[in-house]
Structures are given as C-alpha cells and as structure tokens.
Structure 1
Amino acid sequence: MQEIKTDVLVIGAGSGGLSFAAGAVQMGADVTLLEGHKMGGDCLNFGCVPSKALIAAAKQAQAMRGGERFGVTPVDPMVDYAAAKRHVHDVIETIAPVDSQERFQGMGVRVIREYGRFVDRDTVVAGDNRITARRIVIATGSSPLVPPIDGLADVPFHTNETIFDLMEKPDHLIVVGGGPIGMEMAQAHIRLGCKVTVIEGAKALGKDDPEMAAVVLKRLRDEGVEIMEGAQVTRVSGRDGAITVHTPAGDVAGTHLLMAVGRKTNVEKLNLDAAGVEHDRAIKVGSDLRTTNRRVYAIGDVAGGYQFTHVAGYHGATVIRPILFGLPAKARTDHIPWATYTDPELAQVGLTEAQAREAHGDRLEVLRFPYHENDRAIASGRTEGLIKVMVVRARIVGASIAGAQAGELIGLWALVIANRMKIGQVAQMVAPYPTLGEISKRAAGQYFAPRLFQSEAVKTVVRLVQRFLP
C-alpha cells in the first residue's frame, strides 16, 4: 500500500472536481485527484456534450423540413442515425483532451484512476493507495435514477449513459420522464425520424414556469411527439425491439425505452460514515459547502440542490477560497441560471412568477415582451415565445425566457441578479439592432413606460418646460 500525503484530495473528475483541481494546483497546492470511471464525468461523456451534439444533428434535419416560408423547397431528409451518433462521439473526442488525465498531470495534479473510499476522517483508500489529506473535496456527481418499476429489470432499456452508444435508429422510442433530459431527447429523436412517446407521471417540464413550458410543449406536439401527462408507469413488459409500458392512462408499445426520471447522487462507494460525513439522498452541506466533517467539502450534484454542470464549476471555484486561503466563502443560488435545450429553448434564473408572487405579493411587477414584436425574430421566422422579468421595487428577482436562444439570453439576467443591479441599468443598455438581445432591453423598458408615458405629472412638467424654452 502506497502512502500519499497531500494538501487537497479531490474525489471525482467531473466539472466540479476538475475546476477545483485546476485552480488549486496552479495556486501552489499539492493536489491529488481520484477518478474511477471517465475523466470529464457525466457532462462530457453522457450528458451536456453528447446531448447537445445530437440536438445539433437533429436541428439540421429539421431545417430541411421547414424552408418553405423562406422560398426553399422543403424535403424529407435522409437521416443516417449512425452517422449522427458518430458526430456525437467526434464531439466528445474533440473536447476530451481538455479534461484528460494527461492535461491535469501536466499541470502538476497527481491523478489516480481509482474509486476512493474513506477509512477515517482524513484518509481515503483508492486501489493500492492510502491518501491522507488536509482537506478533501467530494465531487462524485450523480447518475441516472432507475426506479423500481415492476418488470423493468427484465426489459432492455437505456439511460443517458447508454443512449448515445445506440447506433441503430429506434422505430418508436418511449421516453419515461418529461423533464429536461426526456424532452430534449424526445425532440432530437422525432427530428431524426423516430416515432416518440413521452410518459410523465405529473406535468411535463413541471419545474419550469407553466406559461413558458407550454410554449415548448406546443412545439414538440406540433412536431409529432406524443406527450402523456399524469400517467404513472405501473409496469414494463416485453423484450428487445418490442417493449410495452403500462400506465393507468393506457399502454404504450414501442421498440426502445429511455428512462429519464431523474438523478441519484453517487455516494454509495464513499463509505461516508467512516469520515463522519452525514448524508441521506445527498451529502449534507452548509452554505459554505462544508460537510459535518470540517475537513471535507462536497460540491456539485453530490451536495444536493441544483444539478447542473455550471453549478458544479461554480462550487469548485467557491471552495478555493476557504481551502487554499482559510477565508470564508458561501455559495449563492439566487443567481444560478438553467436552460432546457429544446427548440424553442427554455431558460430561467431566480424566481419564477409564481414563486415571486408568493414571496413578494403585491410588490411584484411582471414585465413581459413577446418574441413576435422583435424584428430579428420576425426576420428569422422565430416568433414563438416571450420573456418575463420579475421586479420588486426596481430590483430583479427572476427572469423566465421561452424562445429562440433563450439559453444565451438568460446570461444577461444572471449577471444582473448576481451583481444586484436594478432594472434601470438594463434599460440603459444599447443592444445592437436587429438582435434577439433587444427582447431583454424592451422588457426592461416596460418598467418605465407607465411611469413616463402615462403619468400626468410628467406631462405637466414637459408642457411647462416647453412654454419657457427659448
């Protein structure tokens, strides 16, 4: 058994672990990094990167169907599903060197390709290595949740960890779960020529503003995705190529099954009790991301809360301060944006309208601006959608966007909330014309329109000034 003493031990080489390790080693810390599976974690190998690559392939296919309004004859594309998946793998391979073992070893990180298991409060065993560290960062992420549905264990099914290796196009893909992963994959596959049925036990895209989610769901239904809501799966039966999902609302028969019902944190291999780290479904942390063991921090999905790659990266940057410099730092959540990369996209930061009304009551003002009044959206034929901005006494508390490039547009509002800016500062922004970015400026302008254009006091002042101007 090799004995290793290190300043910081990072368990998990996903977004959070890599972000922290890169920053810490470049600031002079001795860093050891454990990864028992793939460098880059879920995002690179099974999540954000491959899903967006497949969505891009599907978008190209859909563009060929929708050219009539632009004077381009629409055609039904010939889709090579296997080639689309090869594009996915090419994208992963292109990005992989950034997260590779070689790159991090080149920085000076000690990389050990083993899973880690606590044996006491500051010691972890990984393969033939016994590692003692002053501080330990757990960044093990999460995995697909596979619920205990009757018959599921006897039927072949996919999760996001296997769907991108499927090279044979499904004739009829059944997606169980109407959250972001399920809806993104549903639209991608319908556009690539598959029949798709989504089965959701509650409401599809139920964590988002219902008005905004409705914009996305209408488009998916218009494109041919069948969405069954309020349909709890009771049983699964069948065999490879002939699978039936049973629900009280009716049975659905298809050729392939994708389970997309949520995530579970990766804590089972860690032996957390030996370290005095409390946990249930996730590791319990304070706002400083420190666990019940003062030497141990948890970041990203495994710490509970928002399960997004950018949150893991944010957490990794946050704990640099206390671990390397002994200075206090806390992770915020109010400025965290998220996006669902359907077409149109769906994005949110801060409070939804319903949450803001509950928190602020009559003090809340909701500013709205539709895509169909934006010149660039009109020119591009992307007029479906809207933005809503939640404002309390000139302070922005949330923004919701459904429409083209919503994931890009939400970044402005994340910046505004992060820096506690006021609505007037957004209204003063000059956006280039014509861009979708003007939607945000026009929404901000809605705050001042009644105060300036419908105010008798303002009109009286203007008339008085005009009388005495030379």
Structure 2
Amino acid sequence: MNLRKVLLLAVVLLGVITFFAFDLDRYLSLSYLKESQTSFAELYAQKPLQVVGAYFFIYVAATALSLPGAAILTLAGGALFGLWWGTLIVSFASSIGATLAFLVSRYALRSSVEAKFGNRLAEINKGVEKEGAFYLFTLRLIPVVPFFVINLLMGLTQMKTVVFYVVSQVGMLAGTLVYVNAGTQLAQIDSLQGILSPALLGSFVLLGLFPLIARKIVGAVQKRKVYARWASVRPRVFDRNLIVIGAGAGGLVSAYIAATVKAKVTLVEVLKMGGDCLNYGCVPSKALIKSAKLAHQMRHASNYGLSDTPPSFSFKAVMQRIQDVIRAIEPHDSIERYTGLGVEVLQGYAKLVNPWTVQIALNDGGTQTLTARSIVIAAGARPFVPPLPGLEDMGYVTSDTLWETFGELEEIPQRLVVLGGGPIGCELAQSFARLGAHVTQVEMAPRIMIREDEEVSELAKASLEADGVRVLTHHKALRCERVDGEKILVVEHAGTEHRIAFDQLICAVGRNARLTGYGLEELGITTNRTVDTNEYLQTLYPNIYAAGDVAGPYQFTHVAAHQAWYAAVNALFGEWKMFKADYSVIPWATFIDPEVARVGLNEQEAKEKGIAFEVTKYGIDDLDRAIADSEAHGFVKVLTVQGKDTILGVTIVGTHAGDLLAEYVMAMKHGLGLNKVLGTIHTYPTLAEANKYAAGEWKRAHAPKQLLEWVKRYHDWKRG
C-alpha cells in the first residue's frame, strides 16, 4: 500500500476516532435534536445560507466517514427545512457522501482486496458489469439494509462512479422522503423505531421487491416478443418433455438426467453413440498411448533392471486393439442401455423447425417430427482443417479419421507430420514416435502447449524430442505440394521456406463446434465460434439450451457432462428454479509422458490477470514411490494467495498427474487450503504423497520463525 493510501486511511481513521473520543455522537441523538429544534430554527431564520451550508457539510462528512447518525441528520433536515427543501438537500448530501465513501474504499482498499481475493472479485465484477446497477437500485430502495456497508462494498468492485452516484441518488429517494417527512413531525417522534413501523418496513420490502417483479414482467414481455413470430405454431400439447440433439457426453448426460426424473425424453444421434470422445478422441487416443508407452518401456527396460528389448509388434494389431477397446466401452453409451433407462433413442439427423419442433431425417430413410417443451443442442465439434493450398490433393487425416485410415495400414507411416502443438497434437506425435514413426511436429506459435507455463512447455518439448519427435515451433505451414512423386509440406520459419517430406499428415490444430444444418440460422439463434447462450445455457429462445462443445467455453468431455446437468435441470424445472453454470473449478490434463494436469490459474494466467500469488513447488524426483517406479521426474506446483494457504491453481507434471490432480480439484471446489491437504493421511508409498509434500513445502516456507526461536530457547532451558 503506497503512502497516499496510508495517509487517506489515517485521515478517515482520525475522523472516526475524533468523533467517538470527543463524544460527538451525543449530538446525533433524537433527544438532542428535539431539545435543540427551537434554537436551530431560530439560527436558520437568521442565517439560512450558513445553516444550509454547515448542515450539508456535516451530512456529507458523516456519510463519507460511515459514521452513525444519518437517520438523525435526515430527521433534522425535515425539521429545519421542511419536506421539499429538506428532501432536496438530504438527497444530494447523502448521495455525495455515499459516493465519497465509495471512492475512499476503491482507492484505499480495492487493490489489497484484489490481491487476496482476485478470483472471487473477478466473478463479482462480471455480475456488477452486467447487472450491478439493477441490484444497487434494489438495495437502495430498502433502508433496513445498512447503506454504509453498500458504499464500502461497491467501492471494491469495478462499478463506474457515475453509475453508483446516479443509482444511489434515485434509489435512496423513497427512504429519504419517509425520514424527512417524519422530521417535519419531530415533536411526535419518541424513537427511531417508531418511524419504521412494521407496515412501513413491509412497504419498503415490497418496494425493494418491485424491481425484481418488474424485471420478471419485462422478461415475460421479452420472451413473448422472442416467440411472437412462432405464436401460431406453438403446440398445445407436446410429444416430449425434452429432445436432445447429439449423443456425446453432453447429450447422453442430459438424456440420462431427464429419464432419471421420469421425463419423456428423446435422444437423436446421426452418427455413433458416445460421440467424439468414445469413437475418435479420448478413448482411442488413450488406448494408443498405453500401447506406445509399453513399447517405450520395453526399449528402456534397463530402467527396471531388465534388458532393453526392441518391441516386436504388428501395427495393424495395435490399431485393432484400439477398436477392441472402443467396443468394450460402447455398451456404456449404447442404444440398448439408454433405452433401458427410459430414453427413446432415434438414429438420424435432427433439425429445428420452430422453437418446439424437431424434424428428424432417420438413417433408415424415414422422417419423424416431434415436439417438446424444451430442447438441448449437444452436437459436439469436428476437427478444424486449415485452408492450406494443396492439402486436399495430398491427403490428410484428422483425430477423427486417422483410426479408420491407419487401421487399414499394415505398417506404421515412416514419415509422419503432425500439424499442431496443442494437447491432441502432442499426444499423437509422441505415441506414433514411440511406435517407430519418424515424426515432425509443426507449430506456428513460439512453443507447444501454449496455454501452459513456459517451463511446462519446455519440459513437454524435451520429452517429445527424447522420444524422437522433431518439434518445430515458430514454423508456419504454407502449402502442400508433390515433388518427384513425394509429398512435401512447405513451412516458413524466420522468413525462410523449408520443405518437409511426409507419408502421412495429421491435422490437429483444433476443433470447431458443429453449428450448421440444425436450423439455428433459420430460427435466428446467434452463433460465433459457439452457440450464444446466457449463464443458464439458454439460447435466444429460453426453452432451447446448448451444452458441450457447441456451447463452449471449454472443449472437454467432463465439462460437457458438467454443463449437461445445468441444461437438463434448467430445461425441465426452470420455471421453479434456474441454476447458473459454474466454471469456477475446471480441471484438464494432457496425456503425454509425463502427463500434464492443471486446475485453476497457472503463473502466466495469474500475471496476465494481475493477480498476486505465491508459488510452492515440490519436485517429484524426491518422492519415494516415483523413485521405486523409475518415474522420478516432474513436479507439483501450487499457486496460493499471498500469505495464505488458499489455492488459486495447481499444475502437476509427472506420471498419473491427471489422477493426482483430483485431490486439488476437490480442495478448490470446497474451499479447502493446503493446511487441510497437509493434515490428511496419505498412504505410503503412493504417488499421492506428492500432494501432501507440496503442502508441506508451503507450510515450511510459512513457519513462524520468531515463535520457533522462542520454542528453541524453551527446550534449551528444559535441558538445564
């Protein structure tokens, strides 16, 4: 805190201390006001401008310093100046004083609060930016809410000063009128409690609720306006409670929840049940990673006291195993299972005809039209293919198509180019390199895994290069061409073109939400990179929801399932209670070797957001179980609030990092700090002890050194 802030707080504190030290609060009592009413009236008659000026100054000062007595001062305004002049003077004095208190809080306290509670304050600021004026107005209408608390708390947010002043001026007017009017009848008032009778308090509460009720009415009018052009086709009776489009994680969970609460639900999928994750993404890639890791361990068997052995395998058999794994998991997401749960499953392409009607072009050639009170769009995403000249002619595979294409190959492609340095590209590059391909990974960004801290990116690069991957960062793909019958990728680096020969090319540069062909355009539902939704996952039409990759902001299977709960529950029970989708604690992992897992902030994000933090780091090379497993590499890095054990984020690099992260996800979700992690018994010897030791590193860094010095002296004394 700088000197100016310290001085400002000192002035405020001095004012408050002076007020109580000199017993000035006796002048802000009802008895003193009644005793002095006549003399004040005489003084006002003699010197009206001076009295008004002095009164105005005292009122502003008292409010700015958050001193008690605003009610008495307001009564005095009515007693001295009458109803209309009193109301005018008090209205401006109270609003200016409140704004000064707001500014003092903002200038002197906000930076300190942001440093300690940056994450939470960021969420509050989002709400304030969107609806802060509305809620401030509602609070101002209810005088039982301590206004000085509102002034100080609002100062900690990013609400604009002019908005605060104007809303306060208007919002406090009703309460001001009541108190000033009471002041005009001062002789009849025995206590402040007498002013606010139960009936009057009830009236204020109703007044405070009025904006909320009005908002509901406005919402209903807007809703009616949104549906206006469809009013004539709105069904009187609906075929279903819910129709879900897409049978990936988001769609499956939405349908499951609906069936569980006995709603009539239809799930529509044009391709394969289980969506991208089961058929093209999470499941097949992890099966590939396991085979590749075993091949790697065989080559490096000496790490385990065995003989290094080049793995002998059929690439076709490896790819067949991946299909076997998919088939083994398929029953979890199968039509049979979901039909058994009470979900009607239709295989076909669904298109919205109007906000309640879905037309389904069935895969068997027929057509079916269904109506539903609510609809959830969970259509997923597809790989993005960059518009590289010559790419289509050369041929390529994506994370969706490589399993089928490579499954037909007898041998692994010898020269493989992977476009993209994100999680998918890194996982595929390392796995195919471990299985014997000569892999070149091309990334136009300065480093791979750009969303992670720089040290994590460097460690990932070193790991991939150790497995034989040629990692080219700052290389931009320009075009594909064929030279002497050989496929060539032309890239640009530092202003110079380079050529990379390849047999197969994998596009892994990201995924785009599936947004076209579902009738969104015809209904006017806006889309950008994803479907535009509000915090309840509603689209333009309140009965149409989106979940998963089509909704964003994260393209993770577990986030899709998480969103599906909100979409389904809001769709089925929203008329009674709506739930805002919660993204406060989102974990993810990249399954290279060593794994990289993260939840919350990392260092680069905290710096970008200006959030103060401390870093605690524990090296897994010191962990007994990791040493025993010959996996002694990586680290646990925890970001905490300065001086506290409150967890802001965790990054783990090492074997089974994705599994180890779960303890920190739980801790962050439920507000548990590192002291709680440290105080939890962890089985020995396990990798999970890394979490406890990381907490121990934090505790050691925050040990009370002075206290321990005195304890040492105590023990010295006890020895005599």
TM class, shorter-length: over 0.9
Cα displacement (A) at 1:79: 2.4
Cα displacement (A) at 1:343: 0.7
Amino acid in the other structure paired with 1:382: E
Is 2:716 aligned against 1:460?
no
Corresponding residue for residue 375 of structure 1: 624
Q: Would the aligned equivalents of 1:346 and 1:406 in 2 still touch at CA under 8 Å?
A: yes
Corresponding residue for residue 157 of structure 1: 396
Q: Would the aligned equivalents of 1:173 and 1:256 in 2 still touch at CA under 8 Å?
A: yes
Corresponding residue for residue 462 of structure 2: 218
Corresponding residue for residue 649 of structure 2: 398
1:51 counterpart SS class: helix
Q: Would the aligned equivalents of 1:4 and 1:129 in 2 still touch at CA under 8 Å?
A: no
Is 2:453 aligned against 1:204?
no
Is 2:599 aligned against 1:349?
yes
Corresponding residue for residue 492 of structure 2: 248
Amino acid in the other structure paired with 2:380: G
Corresponding residue for residue 193 of structure 1: 436
Q: For residues 436-462 of structure 1, what are the alpha-carbon distances to aligned partners after superposition, in whole Å with 9 as ceiling and x for unaligned?
A: 11111111112211322x612332145
Q: For residues 404-431 of structure 1, what are the alpha-carbon distances to aligned partners after superposition, in whole Å with 9 as ceiling and x for unaligned?
A: 1111111111111111212211111111
Corresponding residue for residue 441 of structure 1: 692
Within a 5 Å distance, the mapping from 1:111-150 to structure 2 comes to 111-127=345-361, 128-150=367-389
Cα displacement (A) at 1:383: 1.6
1:236 counterpart SS class: strand
Q: If the length of structure 1 is used for normalisation, what is the TM-score?
A: 0.95
Distance across 2 between alignment mates of 1:87 and 1:69: 27
Cα displacement (A) at 1:285: 1.3
Distance across 2 between alignment mates of 1:328 and 1:163: 42
Work out the percentage of aligned pairs sharing the same amino acid.
38
Is 2:653 aligned against 1:384?
no
Is 2:420 aligned against 1:177?
yes
Q: Would the aligned equivalents of 2:241 and 2:572 in 1 still touch at CA under 8 Å?
A: no
Q: For residues 325-367 of structure 1, what are the alpha-carbon distances to aligned partners after superposition, in whole Å with 9 as ceiling and x for unaligned?
A: 3222122223111111111101111111121234454x41111
Amino acid in the other structure paired with 1:399: V
Q: Between 459-468 and 329-338, report the one with greater CA deviation.
A: 459-468
Distance across 1 between alignment mates of 2:491 and 2:430: 22
Corresponding residue for residue 49 of structure 2: none
Q: Would the aligned equivalents of 2:417 and 2:440 in 1 still touch at CA under 8 Å?
A: yes
User: Are the structure 2 counterparts of residues 174 and 358 from structure 1 closer, same or farther at C-alpha, using a change threshold of 3 Å?
Assistant: closer
1:319 counterpart SS class: helix
Q: If the length of structure 2 is used for normalisation, what is the TM-score?
A: 0.63
Cα displacement (A) at 1:154: 1.2
Corresponding residue for residue 109 of structure 1: 343
Q: For residues 83-121 of structure 1, what are the alpha-carbon distances to aligned partners after superposition, in whole Å with 9 as ceiling and x for unaligned?
A: 000100000001111111121112221111111111112
Q: Would the aligned equivalents of 2:543 and 2:571 in 1 still touch at CA under 8 Å?
A: no
Distance across 2 between alignment mates of 1:226 and 1:469: 64
1:293 counterpart SS class: coil
Corresponding residue for residue 307 of structure 1: 555
Unpaired runs of at least 5, structure 2: 1-236, 362-366
User: Are the structure 2 counterparts of residues 230 and 298 from structure 1 closer, same or farther at C-alpha, using a change threshold of 3 Å?
Assistant: same
2:542 counterpart SS class: coil
Corresponding residue for residue 285 of structure 2: 51
Cα displacement (A) at 1:161: 1.2
User: Are the structure 2 counterparts of residues 364 and 240 from structure 1 closer, same or farther at C-alpha, using a change threshold of 3 Å?
Assistant: farther
- Asked which structure has the greater RCO (Cα within 8 Å, sep 6+), the reply is 1
Is 2:304 aligned against 1:60?
no
Cα displacement (A) at 1:44: 0.5
Corresponding residue for residue 93 of structure 1: 327
User: Are the structure 2 counterparts of residues 181 and 199 from structure 1 closer, same or farther at C-alpha, using a change threshold of 3 Å?
Assistant: same
Q: For residues 39-93 of structure 1, what are the alpha-carbon distances to aligned partners after superposition, in whole Å with 9 as ceiling and x for unaligned?
A: 1100010000000011111111111111113221101111210000010000000
Q: For residues 220-240 of structure 1, what are the alpha-carbon distances to aligned partners after superposition, in whole Å with 9 as ceiling and x for unaligned?
A: 101110010011100012399
Name the structure where strand makes up a greater proportion of residues: 1
Q: Over aligned residues, Cα RMSD in angstroms?
A: 1.9
Amino acid in the other structure paired with 2:549: D
Within a 5 Å distance, the mapping from 1:4-15 to structure 2 comes to 5-15=239-249
Q: Would the aligned equivalents of 1:367 and 1:443 in 2 still touch at CA under 8 Å?
A: yes
Q: For residues 355-411 of structure 1, what are the alpha-carbon distances to aligned partners after superposition, in whole Å with 9 as ceiling and x for unaligned?
A: 1234454x4111100111111111111122111101013211100011111111111
Cα displacement (A) at 1:469: 11
Amino acid in the other structure paired with 1:409: L
Cα displacement (A) at 1:322: 1.8
Corresponding residue for residue 318 of structure 1: 566
Distance across 1 between alignment mates of 2:648 and 2:654: 20
User: Are the structure 2 counterparts of residues 92 and 239 from structure 1 closer, same or farther at C-alpha, using a change threshold of 3 Å?
Assistant: farther
Distance across 1 between alignment mates of 2:456 and 2:499: 29
Corresponding residue for residue 364 of structure 2: none
Q: Would the aligned equivalents of 1:340 and 1:346 in 2 still touch at CA under 8 Å?
A: yes
Q: For residues 167-195 of structure 1, what are the alpha-carbon distances to aligned partners after superposition, in whole Å with 9 as ceiling and x for unaligned?
A: 32111111011111111111111111111
2:625 counterpart SS class: helix
Q: Would the aligned equivalents of 1:79 and 1:192 in 2 still touch at CA under 8 Å?
A: no
User: Are the structure 2 counterparts of residues 139 and 225 from structure 1 closer, same or farther at C-alpha, using a change threshold of 3 Å?
Assistant: same
Distance across 2 between alignment mates of 1:225 and 1:432: 37
Distance across 1 between alignment mates of 2:341 and 2:523: 29
Q: Would the aligned equivalents of 2:415 and 2:503 in 1 still touch at CA under 8 Å?
A: yes
Cα displacement (A) at 1:317: 1.8
Is 2:599 aligned against 1:365?
no
One of 529, 542, 546 as aligned partner of 1:294: 542
Paired residues in the alignment total 466
Amino acid in the other structure paired with 2:416: L
Distance across 2 between alignment mates of 1:367 and 1:221: 28
Corresponding residue for residue 410 of structure 1: 661
Amino acid in the other structure paired with 2:526: E
